[in-house]
């Protein structure tokens, strides 16, 4: 790099070690970016791109952000999945010989954000390591802000990706070999090498199968963070099968944590259930929703606690109120260990710890099992509370280098410095008074500024009254002059020295205090776990009581019986209207419901409500029903079309089939399947044929509890051949040319679709709906001639329909029943078949159609 200036050479050499990050290169008050970084950053951050002479032939592209406003820009990079390496000046520019020394002090990437202003409060921010050996994939998911680590092993890559998705992992660390594969999947990837020495782990961990991922994670953190990782908690191993698996599509369409339409929390199950008072509770609730339990005992323990909290209204109220004074001690503990906690953070820790005894008392009164664990932490943290209460002022500033943090009486030396400072101020006040008396200038005052220090200010009109000699002129203003005296100079030196010393000492005392607080990190982490669980359980109790939910029972035989169930979110949204409750029973005799009914009648609401009730039960919450007995599901799969699916066209059909395939491959007799209008994305007959075969397959080979909604009325005949399938429909009635939705699920198939009625409700012009009604009548007449009769075996239904076009298997029974095509139809068909469409212009095609229409008429 001979042609570049020394500074540019320094930049390039540092940048070469951080190729995958934007390098924020500190130059005075700015972070500058150069070359490609600058060109791309200018676009991403929408800032001006300039250039600078770098010593070479061409000017170097450059853009920069002010150091004090860097956070906002870093957040924009992070939100879009980029990394930022912060390169600081690490020596005083005044003392530097040549180019100021610079080093990367830390790298911020989507998975390694520690700054609360960039993070979402109620969500974990996971960084994951994914390693692969001959046998399996190991995963380690780490939230650096809290020190939480979850680890697991899975057999296949797809499953590993699913685990990453469920935890909404922001960044994945892999070995170089896996980098491209992960990038193809659009993950933010970082590459590290595995250390092969388990002794270097900052925690003890026995499970060998998970070690590769943990070693990869540790190696990466050690290299990038270069600071204490003491707050990393003991990794918690989990088996994915301990939890109810909800495929990513299911989580999306059931709107567990955000709505499908605008991706907001409002309108989701999380929104409904989230009455938590603390950030830790909020994160825990999301975690529970991501991973409902499958262990009956685990669920019952939570339900017992919710029951107790519902009954103990007063204590619950008390606990929840006290929780409002609980800060995010989990992240505060992370900051203490990380070395970026300030005095205000420690005051928050103190305030939290001091509310604990009150919470603990209320929990004990209720007799909740976590009372004794909570009591242990209260005792363990007493010393910390005392220490912080004695050492810190109630409202310290955000910075730790400007004093005003440490309380009087904590350090004798500090108190002495402070006295000097305070006495000095009194002395200055006395001096001012004396000078006024001596000079008889009432407006004389002693002031202070950073440039000149202390001064005596006298207005221009009073200068004549000032005695000669003692006053040394320092500054001239428009209407006044400022002076100093030897006495003032000497006193100023003493005061400033005391202040400087006290600020330095406060900084040092604070660092010691933070160091001492570190030993309490495990207790703070355990406390935050207990508080977060209590918060979620109390939130469940609150919502359950308010909304009239009941405790679910679990059936040993796998029966599902929900009496008067409701969709919790639709019910809440339609508060002012009447929500129509619906029951459902699925057992070993009837495990499948085929749901028909008009559009908008409530088919998918009914299906979703069953899944939501099952999920709520398995996270340990009461459920919206009069009574509910449920199996413990192992997996929930949904294929529920979204409105945008239809618009997206054929590829969506592919997605629909892939998702259906996924469900069918993985579902077991203990799973819940919700399939909404399968087959609607292709032609009617294709769709119907597929829907029927899928139903038969689930019936004959899987036996999963299945809710299947359809507009293909022909499918309702399957009830005759599939023993475990039952027809139900959502009732609607016609009232004077319009339709009234009853939202009531009743036995048997629906009599018709009412599609045109719904179109009318949607405001389609009369002309269209009238024409549609006429066409419908024509079609129904035609269909009536060929319609399958109820006595015909259901498995023949689709084949019969296909045969109308003469495409079906001629050997089918249905074909025999279909009337032979008329002569005109036969001519039409043979002429159509002989057309070479590729060789025709659109106009020729139109002309042909025109001729045929005339012939038919
Ligand atoms: N049980 C109910 N009680 C009250 N209102 C309901 C009920 N079920 C559904 N609804 C209301 O009806 C609307 C339509 O319901 P839903 O989307 O489930 O209909 P659908 O039959 O699946 O329609 P489509 O076939 O067009 O997809 C819901 O948004 C809700 O407002």
The domain that holds 590 is classified in CATH as 3.40.50.300
Query: How many residues make up the chain in this entry?
Result: 857
Q: Round to whole Å and give the CA distance between 433 and 49.
A: 58
> Mean pLDDT across the stretch 40-57?
91
pLDDT of residue 803: 33
Highest mean pLDDT range out of 84-93, 228-237, 276-285, 448-457?
A: 276-285
| Inter-residue contact 152 to 238 (CB < 8 Å) | yes
* Residue 802 in this model has a pLDDT that exceeds 50: no
586 and 684 inside one domain: yes
Which of 573, 596, 601 to mutate for ligand 1's pocket (most ligand atoms within 8 Å of CB)? 601
Which of 605, 638, 709 to mutate for ligand 1's pocket (most ligand atoms within 8 Å of CB)? 605
Q: Which of 154-168, 536-550, 724-738 has the lowest mean pLDDT?
A: 724-738
| Inter-residue contact 393 to 344 (CB < 8 Å) | no
Query: What global pTM score does this model have?
Result: 0.80
* Residue 769 in this model has a pLDDT that exceeds 60: yes
Q: Round to whole Å and give the CA distance between 448 and 11.
A: 42
The protein residue with its alpha carbon nearest to ligand 1, atom 25, reads: 599
pLDDT band of residue 337 (cuts 50, 70, 90) is: confident
pLDDT band of residue 841 (cuts 50, 70, 90) is: confident
Q: Round to whole Å and give the CA distance between 675 and 641.
A: 9
851 and 748 inside one domain: no
The torsion defined by the Cα of 774, 776, 779 and 785, in degrees rounded to 10, comes to -100
Domain end among 737, 763, 789:
763
534 and 431 inside one domain: no
476 and 613 inside one domain: no
* Residue 379, domain member (yes or no): yes
427 and 563 inside one domain: no
Domain end among 108, 138, 167:
108
Domain end among 192, 224, 242:
242
* Residue 495, domain member (yes or no): yes
pLDDT of residue 523: 94
520 and 631 inside one domain: no
| Inter-residue contact 195 to 219 (CB < 8 Å) | yes
26 and 148 inside one domain: no
Ligand 1 neighbours, Cβ below 6 Å, are: 570, 574, 579-580, 582, 597, 599-605, 743
The domain that holds 234 is classified in CATH as 3.30.420.110
What total of structural domains would you count in the chain?
Answer: 6
Q: How many A from CA of 742 to the centre of ligand 1?
A: 10
Tokens standing for 23?
A: 């390098």
Residue-wise pLDDT for 206-258, tens only, equals 778 888 899 899 888 887 776 667 778 889 999 999 999 998 888 999 999 99
629 and 747 inside one domain: yes
| Inter-residue contact 358 to 553 (CB < 8 Å) | no
pLDDT band of residue 817 (cuts 50, 70, 90) is: very low
* Residue 361, domain member (yes or no): yes
Range of the domain at 457: 412-510
* Residue 857 in this model has a pLDDT that exceeds 90: no
pLDDT band of residue 793 (cuts 50, 70, 90) is: very low
600 is in an annotated binding site: yes
98 and 234 inside one domain: no
Look at residues 148, 142, 519, 125 and name the one whose alpha carbon lies nearest to residue 330: 148
Comparing 343 with 497, the larger pLDDT belongs to 343
Tokens standing for 186?
A: 């659009």
Q: How many A from CA of 547 to the centre of ligand 1?
A: 20
Tokens standing for 498?
A: 């005391």
* Residue 525, domain member (yes or no): yes
602 is in an annotated binding site: yes
> Mean pLDDT across the stretch 733-737?
74
| Cα Rg of the chain (Å, integer) | 37
The domain that holds 449 is classified in CATH as 1.10.1420.10
pLDDT of residue 788: 39
Sheet of 137-143, strands arranged across: 189-191, 171-174, 126-132, 137-143, 148-154, 236-237
* Residue 115, domain member (yes or no): no
Contacts of residue 39, defined as CB under 8 A and 6 or more positions apart, other chains included, come to 49, 61
| Helix ranges, 406-520 (H) | 412-439, 486-517
- DSSP three-state, residue 563: strand
Q: Round to whole Å and give the CA distance between 824 and 856.
A: 7
Q: How many A from CA of 600 to the centre of ligand 1?
A: 5
| Inter-residue contact 275 to 539 (CB < 8 Å) | yes
599 is in an annotated binding site: yes
> Mean pLDDT across the stretch 193-202?
70
pLDDT band of residue 814 (cuts 50, 70, 90) is: very low
| Inter-residue contact 652 to 678 (CB < 8 Å) | no
Neighbouring-strand partners of residue 142 = 127, 149
Comparing 802 with 328, the larger pLDDT belongs to 328
The protein residue with its alpha carbon nearest to ligand 1, atom 4, reads: 579
Q: Could you tell me the CA-to-CA distances from 591 to 213, 250, 631, 700 in Å, in that order? A: 41, 20, 12, 11
Look at residues 311, 275, 295, 269 and name the one whose alpha carbon lies nearest to residue 566: 269
35 and 98 inside one domain: yes
Look at residues 607, 801, 834, 559 and name the one whose alpha carbon lies nearest to residue 709: 607
* Residue 330, domain member (yes or no): yes
583 and 637 inside one domain: yes
Comparing 97 with 619, the larger pLDDT belongs to 619
665 and 691 inside one domain: yes
- DSSP three-state, residue 255: coil
Contacts of residue 659, defined as CB under 8 A and 6 or more positions apart, other chains included, come to 247, 249, 637, 639
Comparing 792 with 290, the larger pLDDT belongs to 290
Tokens standing for 677?
A: 């209008």
* Residue 194, domain member (yes or no): yes
| Inter-residue contact 788 to 797 (CB < 8 Å) | yes
Residue-wise pLDDT for 438-472, tens only, equals 888 989 999 988 788 889 999 999 888 888 888 88
Looking at beta carbons, which pairs linking 134-138 to residues 24 or more positions away fall under 8 Å?
136/209, 138/209, 138/210, 138/211, 138/212, 138/213, 138/214
Determine the distance from the C-alpha atom of residue 735 to the mean position of all C-alpha atoms in its chain, rounded to a whole number: 45
Q: Could you tell me the CA-to-CA distances from 401 to 368, 421, 508, 511, 759 in Å, in that order? A: 44, 17, 9, 10, 68
> Mean pLDDT across the stretch 597-606?
88
Residue 183 half-sphere exposure, CB side, CA atoms within 13 Å? 11
The domain that holds 95 is classified in CATH as 3.40.1170.10
Sheet of 245-246, strands arranged across: 245-246, 635-639, 672-676, 705-709, 592-596, 725-735, 738-747
| Inter-residue contact 603 to 595 (CB < 8 Å) | yes
* Residue 634 in this model has a pLDDT that exceeds 60: yes
The protein residue with its alpha carbon nearest to ligand 1, atom 23, reads: 600
Q: Is the dihedral of CA 477, 479, 483, 488 positive or negative?
A: negative
- Average pLDDT of the chain to the nearest whole number: 86
Comparing 651 with 726, the larger pLDDT belongs to 726
Q: How many A from CA of 668 to the centre of ligand 1?
A: 29
* Residue 12, domain member (yes or no): yes
Look at residues 543, 65, 488 and name the one whose alpha carbon lies nearest to residue 275: 543
* Residue 195 in this model has a pLDDT that exceeds 70: no
Which of 570, 678, 756 to mutate for ligand 1's pocket (most ligand atoms within 8 Å of CB)? 570
> Which percentage of the chain shows pLDDT scores above 90?
50
* Residue 167 in this model has a pLDDT that exceeds 50: yes
Backbone angles phi, psi at 309, to 5 degrees: -70, -30
Do the bridges between strand 126-132 and strand 137-143 make them parallel or antiparallel, or are there none, so unpaired? antiparallel
């Amino acid at each position: 790099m001979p042609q570049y200036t020394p500074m540019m050479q320094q930049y390039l050499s540092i940048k070469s070690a951080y190729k995958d990050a934007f390098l924020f290169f500190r130059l005075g008050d700015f972070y500058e970016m150069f070359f490609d970084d600058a060109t791309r950053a200018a676009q991403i951050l929408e800032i001006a791109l300039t250039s600078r002479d770098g010593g070479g032939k061409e000017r170097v592209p450059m853009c920069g952000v002010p150091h004090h406003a860097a956070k906002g820009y870093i957040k924009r990079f992070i939100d879009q999945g980029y990394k930022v390496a912060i390169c600081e000046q690490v020596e005083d520019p005044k003392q530097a010989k040549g180019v100021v020394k610079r080093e990367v002090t830390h790298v911020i990437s989507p998975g390694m954000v520690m700054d609360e202003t960039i993070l979402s409060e109620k969500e974990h921010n996971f960084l994951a390591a994914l390693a692969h050996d001959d046998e399996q994939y190991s995963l380690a998911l780490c939230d650096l802000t809290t020190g939480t680590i979850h680890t697991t092993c899975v057999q296949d890559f797809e499953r590993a990706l699913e685990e990453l998705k469920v935890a909404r992992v922001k960044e994945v660390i892999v070995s170089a070999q896996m980098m491209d594969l992960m990038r193809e999947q659009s993950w933010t990837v970082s590459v590290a090498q595995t250390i092969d020495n388990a002794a270097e782990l900052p925690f003890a961990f026995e499970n060998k199968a998970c070690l590769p991922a943990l070693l990869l994670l540790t190696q990466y953190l050690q290299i990038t963070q270069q600071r204490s990782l003491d707050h990393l908690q003991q990794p918690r191993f989990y088996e994915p099968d301990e939890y109810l698996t909800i495929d990513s599509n299911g989580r999306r369409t059931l709107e567990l944590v955000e709505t499908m339409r605008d991706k907001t929390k409002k309108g989701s199950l999380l929104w409904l259930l989230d009455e938590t008072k603390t950030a830790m509770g909020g994160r825990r609730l999301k975690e529970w929703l991501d991973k409902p339990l499958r262990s009956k005992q685990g669920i019952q323990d939570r339900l017992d606690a919710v029951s107790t909290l519902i009954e103990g209204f007063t204590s619950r109220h008390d606990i929840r109120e006290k929780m409002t004074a609980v800060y995010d001690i989990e992240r505060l503990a992370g900051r203490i260990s990380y070395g970026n906690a300030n005095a205000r953070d420690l005051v928050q820790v103190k305030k939290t710890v001091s509310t604990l005894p009150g919470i603990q008392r209320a929990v004990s009164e209720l007799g909740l099992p976590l009372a004794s664990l909570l009591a242990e932490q209260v005792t363990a943290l007493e010393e910390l509370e005392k220490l912080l209460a004695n050492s810190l002022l109630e409202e310290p500033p955000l910075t730790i280098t400007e004093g005003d943090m440490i309380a009087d009486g904590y350090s004798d030396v500090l108190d002495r410095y402070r006295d000097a400072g305070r006495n000095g101020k009194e002395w200055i006040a006395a001096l001012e008074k004396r000078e006024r008396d001596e000079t008889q200038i009432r407006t004389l005052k002693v002031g202070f500024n950073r440039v000149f220090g202390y001064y005596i200010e006298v207005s221009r009109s009073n200068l004549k009254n000032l005695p000669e000699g003692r006053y040394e002129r320092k500054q001239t203003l428009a209407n006044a002059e400022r002076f100093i005296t030897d006495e003032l100079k000497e006193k100023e030196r003493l005061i400033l020295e005391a202040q400087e010393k006290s600020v330095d000492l406060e900084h040092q005392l604070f660092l010691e205090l933070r160091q001492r607080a570190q030993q309490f990190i495990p207790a703070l982490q355990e406390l935050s776990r207990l508080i977060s669980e209590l918060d979620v359980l109390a939130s469940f109790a609150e919502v359950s009581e308010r909304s009239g939910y009941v405790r679910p029972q679990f059936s040993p035989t796998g029966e599902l019986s929900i009496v008067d169930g409701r969709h919790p979110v639709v019910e809440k949204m339609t508060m002012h209207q009447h929500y129509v409750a619906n029951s459902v029973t699925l057992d070993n005799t009837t495990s499948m419901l085929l749901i028909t009914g008009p559009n908008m009648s409530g088919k998918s609401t009914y299906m979703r409500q069953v899944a939501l009730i099952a999920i709520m039960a398995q996270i340990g919450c009461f459920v919206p029903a009069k009574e509910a007995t449920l199996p413990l599901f192992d997996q929930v799969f949904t294929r529920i079309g979204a409105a945008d699916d239809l618009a997206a066209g054929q590829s969506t059909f592919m997605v629909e089939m892939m998702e259906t395939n996924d469900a069918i491959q993985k579902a077991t007799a203990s799973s819940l399947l919700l399939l909404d209008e399968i087959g609607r994305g292709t032609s009617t007959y294709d769709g119907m044929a597929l829907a029927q075969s899928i139903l038969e397959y689930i019936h004959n080979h899987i036996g999963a509890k299945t809710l299947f909604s359809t507009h293909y009325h022909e499918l309702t005949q399957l009830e005759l051949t599939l023993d475990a399938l039952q027809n139900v429909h959502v009732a609607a009635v016609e009232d004077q040319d319009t339709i009234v939705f009853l939202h009531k699920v009743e036995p048997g198939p629906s009599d018709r679709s009412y599609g045109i009625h719904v179109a009318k409700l949607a405001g389609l012009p009369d002309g269209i709906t009238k024409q549609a009604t006429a066409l419908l009548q024509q079609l129904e007449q035609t269909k009536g001639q060929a319609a399958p009769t109820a006595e015909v075996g259901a498995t023949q239904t689709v084949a019969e329909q296909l045969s109308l076009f003469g495409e079906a298997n001629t050997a089918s029974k249905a074909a025999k029943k279909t009337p032979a095509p008329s002569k005109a139809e036969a001519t039409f068909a043979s002429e159509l078949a002989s057309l070479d469409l590729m060789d025709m212009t659109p106009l020729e095609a139109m002309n042909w159609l025109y001729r045929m229409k005339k012939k038919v008429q």
